Structure 1
Amino acid sequence: MLAGWACGASGEVPAMPTIIPVPPSDQPPLSSALRVTNPGTEYIDLDGSGYAEEEYYMSGVAPAITAQGATLFQVPYITRILVRKPKDPRKFNGTVVMEPFTWIGERGAGWILTKDYLIRQGYAWVGYTLNINKPAQDPKTTTDPDWRPDPEPQDLNLDFMRRFDYARYASLGTYYDPARFQRGGHADPFVPQSQGIGAQLALALKSNLADGPMRGLEVRRVYVDSWAVTAQVWMDYLDQGRHQQWRMPDGRPLIDAYMTGKMSFGEVGGDAIRVPRHMPDDAPFVVVYSQSEAMHDAIEQIDVPVDSDRPRLRYYEVAGVSHLRLADLGTEEIEDLPADVGKESDPRCRHLYDEPAQMIVSALFDDMDRWVREGRPMPRAPRFKREGRGIARDARTGNMVGGVRPAWVEVPAAAYLTDQETGCGMVYDTKVPYARDMLRSLYGNFAAYARKFEAAKVLSEKQGYLLPADAARLVPIARPDDF
């Protein structure tokens, strides 16, 4: 391992990391799906679904890479991975999904958005920690030189993990030096070893090690599913050509598909790009935007990418989906609500929404999987209609024009807004439910509304944005009493 990275059949082979089980503790691991007492949104009945959850330390030596792509040196690291996999090898579909935990609350956003689908289809999943010790001034929360620590979230950095379970997480550490690693003129908020750690994890998962975390399963594919700010780690990876540079010993790719979501690359500094400069020719790159990211790009007048089949690129802007939902929060994660920012009386800030974005994401993930396994291209979706430095809204419904339109937008019972428009001052977006007169004007009565909603679900299925297994659970947003 200390010898560095070897040459394979084509490209460089990462060093194989050391992976050992984490000793038992008196509580489940951070962000566990098994947590029954005060469960987080990661929870699902793993045991009843025939799944096991295991936690491991992963250690090794990985390159420290600047935001500009320069490798300065090799440095040791210790991190942890959280594994969820079928107990019965016959249920495993051959694919492992990996994602870095978010900085805040160690949230597995991709897991939260696809957990029902992943278990239903027999995937394995691995989350991993990319974090640092608490610095004097944390660039993940501010670049203000006069910043003081009071506003910093309490569920950020490795210090939060150690407070949660000191013995378990005390040994974790990755290299960080804000003076040597800069992005956009200030300290780079991303761990300099992020790319190497991700590559080494993919290598370990795909190598089918006899004593590895996937022992007993035959891994054939590894997908990345990475959301919000952690997705930018994988944007760096692709943009700097790591997909082509780092390979399996036989020349195969380490990673077979990339899904990123709710990411505005360059927002924390550096170039604002939307398509990696070194796109892979043997793996899809898929981006899923909520209304917030689409509005950000419209305001900044950043061009929307064009879909292509060679290279395999798909971009989805989804109406009626917020950047953050209450359903997306990680273990012990707390975010400001309207009352916390003095907006509780603003009619546009009163209603957060938890419409089931996971159903759209799961369908897109399934489309991506079929593109890899069967060669069937993913659907191409219309973009939002831009209007000046914004996005056009339908005069009658108040909702964005264009984009992927789930049933709750195609047959709306509310206007779905972004924080850029409302100024509510939260990472949540909000909605304004229609008054009774508005609902009656649009649909007449609840029965007519429900029929139209069902028809919209059928359309979403045909378009590839809703899976039949999820359609039965998608119910109208408005209720009879609303009419």
Structure 2
Amino acid sequence: MKPMGEVWSPRLSVAASLVLTMAAPVGAQTPSMPQFSLVPPSGRLPLASASRHGTEYVDLEGGGYVEEEYYLLGLAPAITASGEQVFDAPYVTRFLIRKPKDPGRFNGTVVLEPFSWMGERGAGWILTRNYLMRKGYAFVGYTLSINRPANDPKTLDWDPEPRNLNLDFMRRYDYKRYAPLGSYYDSDRFRRGSGPDQYPPQAQGIAAQLALLLKSNHGPTQGLDVKRIYVNTWAINGQLWLDYLDQGRHQQWRMPDGKPLIDAYMTGHIVYGDLGGEVLRVPRKLPEDAPFVTVYSQAEVVHDARQEIALPPDTDQPKLRYYEVTGMPHLRLADQGTEGTEPHPADGDKRNDPRCQFLYDEPVETVVSAILDAMDRWVRDGTPMPKAERVAREGKGVARDLQTGNMVGGVRPPWIKVPSATYLTDQETGCGSAYDTKVPYSAQQMKALYGSHANYASRFEAAKQQAIKEGYLLPEDAVLVKPVASPADFTGPLRSEP
């Protein structure tokens, strides 16, 4: 292993904040090949199906895609949070694959995402589905969950009657289909920090075996000629990939020819270590042959600023990028999974607080798709991804512009470059929700900033062109980014949907 810098403490300044160990695949091994079989029809669409009308829906048929559901079963190691491989145990899980009907449309890349245990939500799919289908990717989402134990660390503190956080939820939805699922879990013996490990001990091994199956062009990917696998995982399951890399699994588990199982890692909306254990922002064993990309919403930015956790600088070797996206909420209405519900900020005890009335739901999927596209180009032709400045810090918090009220620095979409509202986080407002809120400008403020709606719209269009130039908006997605304010907002209260 070759050290790449000084030892990094999360609370040191950025200038002295990097430990990047690039480990060669010495003593690499190929994981066991899992078994698979088509899930028999039960009369219901699968959980997280893109054909179910809801937040993950897309017209697969119209896009020339097909969706299939498979069982995946095998033996995988149970691994502690500290990286100890304890023993091998059997597991049965399931995955959905969405792929072009015509193999000639396939671009050679499969995007892999473990579904969130909160309603089997595929946030990565929701944020990139139009881009993926336009570009000919295949997508695989899989279940990473457990039976509900008596001591369930995901629910004890805040949800004594969970509806959608474990395999019991899946069986209630469709017992016939999901009764066979299960993996090893013991909350007394597998710990993370001072409490039970919230992540299944077999998570890393299952991920590696599924990647091996897909990249070997067996069964579900037969005829596709898979060349690359990218991870695109959001929220709490992003910790899986931090552990996977930090413990050296990328170098340990390889294809039979020695090439990587996974060619790029992208995670979002996750502050690693937040659910217990060690606080890291960069794995200590970053690979030489795969980018590691993290995308923060405003909530994660505020969290790290308040904790004085410094982020490491972006580097081209190893391939590391961090993006702090302003005007991006931690959760949108569009990000909910099956039966997923969150209280609206205005429904709590702050229903009269003007900061808690309006959610923001601007098209951040366009930013995420552009970042994924840039990561793809970095892998395929070596073009480095753009580097973005961090959000400016001010004391134990973030700096905000005095005129607009919005964060200074970071990736700045058009609705932040030419704003019609101040975009806040729940940590700052205390509205009491996983959703973040905004405070729209008054007509007087809009006139003071722009004079007229025509001027505002013109400046907004220029901001879109600048975002394309910077690499945070694809030309094909520009039509999805529209001015937030209307002409009426220059004559009366800004009308935003709560």
Q: Shorter-chain-normalised TM-score: which range?
A: over 0.9
**What's the CA shift for 1:234?**
0.7
- Counterpart-to-counterpart distance in 2, 1:340 and 1:203: 47
Alignment partner of 1:336 is 2:353: no
- Report the counterpart of residue 4 of structure 1 in structure 2: none
The reply to whether residue 93 of structure 1 matches residue 123 of structure 2 is no
- Conserved in 2, the CA contact under 8 Å of 1:208 and 1:215? yes
Is the CA contact (8 Å cut-off) linking 1:408 and 1:476 kept in structure 2?
Answer: yes
Whole-Å separation in 1 of the counterparts to 2:306 and 2:189: 32
The structural deviation recorded for 1:215 is 1.7
Looking at structure 2, the residues matched to 237 and 335 of structure 1 have their Cα atoms a distance apart, in angstroms, of 30
Distance 1:339 1:263 in 2: 25
Superposed counterparts of 1:178-217, under 5 Å: 178-209=187-218, 212-217=219-224
In 2, distance between residues paired with 1:366 and 1:116?
12
How far apart, in 2, do the equivalents of 1:454 and 1:30 lie? 39
Counterpart among 429, 447, 451 of residue 458 in structure 2: 451
Q: 1:79 aligns with which of 82, 93, 97?
A: 93
Q: Does 1:309 align with 2:323?
A: no
Query: Is the 8 Å Cα contact of residues 92 and 124 (structure 1) preserved in structure 2?
Result: yes
| Correspondence list, 1:351-370, <5 A | 351-370=358-377
What TM-score, normalized by structure 2, do the two folds share?
Answer: 0.92
Aligned mates of 1:271, 1:113 — CA distance in 2 = 29
Q: Distance in 1 between matches of 2:291 and 2:311?
A: 18
**Which structure 2 residues correspond to residues 148-163 of structure 1 after superposition, within 5 A?**
150=160, 152-163=161-172
Task: Give the superposition deviation at 1:472.
Answer: 1.8
- 1:264-318 Cα distance to aligned partner (Å, 9 max, x none): 0011111111000000100000000000001100011111111000000000000
Partner of 2:354: 347
- Could you give the per-residue CA deviations for residues 11-43 of structure 1, whole angstroms, max 9, x where no partner exists? 1100000010000121110011111xxx22100
* Aligned residue in 2 for 1:18: 35
- Partner of 1:47, secondary structure, is coil
Q: CA deviation at 1:332?
A: 1.6
Q: Distance in 2 between matches of 1:137 and 1:323?
A: 28
Separation in structure 2 between the aligned mates of residue 383 and residue 11 of structure 1, nearest angstrom: 36
Q: TM-score, normalised by structure 1?
A: 0.95
426-435 or 333-342, larger mean C-alpha shift: 333-342
Q: Distance between the aligned counterparts of 1:394 and 1:215, measured in 2?
A: 53
Letter in 2 for 1:46: L
Are the aligned partners of 1:260 and 1:287 in contact in 2 as well (CA < 8 Å)?
yes
Structural mapping, 1:11-160, within 5 Å: 11-35=28-52, 39-142=53-156, 144=157, 150=160, 152-160=161-169
Query: Could you tell me which residue of structure 1 aligns to residue 416 of structure 2?
Result: 409
CA distance in structure 2 between the aligned counterparts of 1:357 and 1:130, rounded to whole angstroms: 26
Which of 394, 419, 422 aligns to 1:387? It is 394
Alignment pair present for 1:425 and 2:424: no
Question: Is 1:373 aligned to 2:390, yes or no?
Answer: no
Give the conservation status (yes or no) of the 8 Å contact 2:363–2:480. no
Structure 1 counterpart of 2:162, one-letter code: P
Question: 1:441 and 1:262 mapped to 2: Cα distance?
Answer: 34
- How far apart are 1:331 and its partner, in Å? 1.5
Match of 1:291 in 2: 298
SS at match of 1:125: strand
Once residues 286 and 69 of structure 2 are traced to their aligned partners in structure 1, the CA distance between those partners, rounded to angstroms, is: 33
Report what 1:5 is aligned to: none
Residue 170 (structure 2) pairs with residue 165 (structure 1): no
TM-superposed CA distance for 1:473, in Å, is 2.0
* Cα deviation, residue 339, structure 1: 4.3
What residue is the counterpart of 2:5 in the other structure? none
Q: Aligned partners of 2:71 and 2:26: how far apart in 1?
A: 29
Q: Percent identity?
A: 64
**Paired AA for residue 209 in structure 2:** Q
Partners of 1:187 and 1:444 in 2: CA distance: 57
Hey, what's the Cα distance between the residues in 1 that align with 2:472 and 2:198? Answer: 34
Q: Which residue of 1 aligns with 2:495?
A: none
Identify which of 233, 241, 253 aligns with 1:234. 241
Residue equivalent to 2:7: none
Deviation readout 1:344-378 (Å, 9 max, x if unpaired): 22110111111111000000000000000010000
Equivalent-residue separation in structure 2 for 1:317 and 1:139 (angstroms) = 29
Q: Deviations over 1:56-87 (max 9, x none)?
A: 00000000000000011000000000110000
Task: Tell me if the contact between 1:59 and 1:79 (Cα under 8 Å) persists in the aligned partners.
Answer: yes
Separation (CA, whole Å) in 1 of partners of 2:225 and 2:259: 16
8 Å contact kept, 1:9–1:251:
no
Distance 1:466 1:453 in 2: 13
Tell me the SS of whatever aligns to 2:45: coil
Unpaired runs of 5+ in structure 1? 1-7
Residue 269 of structure 2 is matched in structure 1 by: 262
Per-residue deviation at 1:451? 0.3
2:252 maps to 1:245: yes
Asked whether the equivalents of residues 31 and 40 of structure 1 are also in contact (C-alpha less than 8 Å), the reply is no
Contact 1:95 1:222 in 2 (8 A): yes
Q: Tell me by how many angstroms 1:342 deviates.
A: 2.4
Q: Given that residues 390 and 409 in structure 2 are in contact (C-alpha distance below 8 angstroms), is that contact kept between their aligned partners in structure 1?
A: yes
Task: Check the 8 A contact 1:10/1:247 in 2, yes or no.
Answer: no
Q: Distance in 1 between matches of 2:144 and 2:455?
A: 49
Code of the aligned partner of 1:253:
P
CA distance in 2, matches of 1:9, 1:59: 28
**How far off is 1:137 after superposition?**
3.0
**Secondary structure in structure 1 of the residue aligned to 2:220:** coil
1:117 Cα offset (Å):
0.2
Aligned 8 A contact 1:10 1:251 in 2: no
Code of the residue aligned with 1:176 in structure 2: it is Y
Tell me the equivalent position of 1:3: none
Residue 138 of structure 1 deviates from its aligned partner by 2.0
Question: What's the CA shift for 1:475?
Answer: 0.5
Once structures 1 and 2 are overlaid, which stretch shifts more, 42-51 or 334-343? 334-343
Q: Which amino acid aligns with 2:262?
A: I
Contact 2:292–2:320 (CA under 8 A) maintained in structure 1: yes
Aligned amino acid, residue 27 of structure 1: R
Cα deviation for residue 124 of structure 1 reads: 0.0
The gaps in structure 2 that reach 5 residues or longer are: 1-24, 491-498
Q: 2:342 corresponds to which letter in structure 1?
A: E
Equivalents in 1 of 2:424, 2:225: separation in Å? 45
